[in-house]
């Protein structure tokens, strides 16, 4: 199993140990433990490389990915675990605040490399917008491009965008627009080249039980409190 290394609170690496933690990895470990299956968590890799490893059967499960129709054709998806709001971040100095995605037409935008925010967003982006995805794995680099005026807006998950702004002490320079660019569900994604795909139905049954028992919500709250306590 593996996942994103810098996606609060979905999936991230602990600074001290490099251990993968977050709502999705923690739930995944609990479920596989219930099956008496040991879990080996891989090291940090670029997001796009994880997909190549899934295609080759070198990786069984990604703990935390958005569902898209294109991905559904290639991978098995768990039940939705949580929702994630995608936000548009702009420089505070921008005078005319965009009120919708189509208002971003004519501006130069960026998004994390390999990110897909759902069919509707991707369609509108391809039709109306100019968005580049530079190949960085550090979200602070993307935020830095916005702060330095090298992009007009940044599209990324709202929770982690706010976390990045706070970590960079950039509250006076960047703000998130109030409306969502998209609202997506987060899932475990199983490789169809792996025998683990045969576990998907049983995995979903146990996942549904844990979600119904409030464990996903409890983990989300715990990581939020942990962040606030720092």
Mean pLDDT across 195-215? 96
Q: Looking at the predicted structure, is the pLDDT value of residue 15 above 90?
A: no
Please give the C-alpha separations between residue 24 and each of 40, 61, 74, 197, 205, in angstroms, as whole numbers.
15, 11, 20, 17, 16
Query: What is the residue-averaged pLDDT of the chain?
Result: 91
Q: Is the pLDDT of residue 72 over 60?
A: yes
Mean pLDDT confidence for 201-227: 92
Q: For the whole model, what pTM was predicted?
A: 0.82
Q: Is residue 40 within 8 Å of residue 29, measured between CB atoms?
A: no
Assign 70 a pLDDT band (cuts: 50, 70, 90). confident
pLDDT value at 84 more than 60 = yes
Alpha-carbon distance 154 to 142, whole Å? 7
**Looking at residue 125, what is its pLDDT?**
86
198 secondary structure, DSSP code:
G
d(CA 88, CA 179): 8
């Amino acid at each position: 199993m593996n996942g994103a290394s810098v996606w609060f609170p979905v999936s991230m690496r602990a600074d001290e140990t490099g251990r993968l933690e977050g709502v999705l990895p923690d739930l995944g470990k609990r479920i596989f433990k219930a099956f008496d299956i040991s879990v080996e968590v891989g090291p940090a890799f670029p997001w796009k490389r994880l997909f190549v490893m899934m295609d080759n059967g070198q990786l069984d499960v990604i703990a935390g990915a958005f569902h898209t129709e294109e991905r559904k054709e290639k991978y098995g998806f768990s039940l939705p675990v949580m929702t994630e709001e995608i936000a548009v971040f702009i420089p505070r100095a921008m005078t005319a605040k965009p009120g919708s995605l189509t208002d971003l037409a004519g501006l130069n935008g960026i998004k994390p490399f390999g990110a897909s925010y759902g069919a509707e967003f991707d369609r509108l982006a391809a039709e109306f917008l100019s968005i580049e995805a530079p190949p960085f794995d550090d979200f602070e680099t993307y935020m830095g491009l916005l702060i330095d005026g090298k992009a007009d807006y940044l599209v990324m998950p709202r929770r982690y965008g706010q976390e990045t702004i706070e970590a960079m002490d950039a509250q006076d320079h960047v703000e998130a627009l109030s409306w969502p660019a998209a609202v997506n569900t987060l899932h475990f994604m199983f490789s169809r080249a792996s025998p683990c795909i045969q576990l998907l139905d049983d995995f979903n049954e146990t996942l549904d039980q844990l979600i119904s028992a409030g464990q996903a919500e409890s983990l989300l709250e715990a990581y939020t409190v942990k962040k606030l306590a720092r």
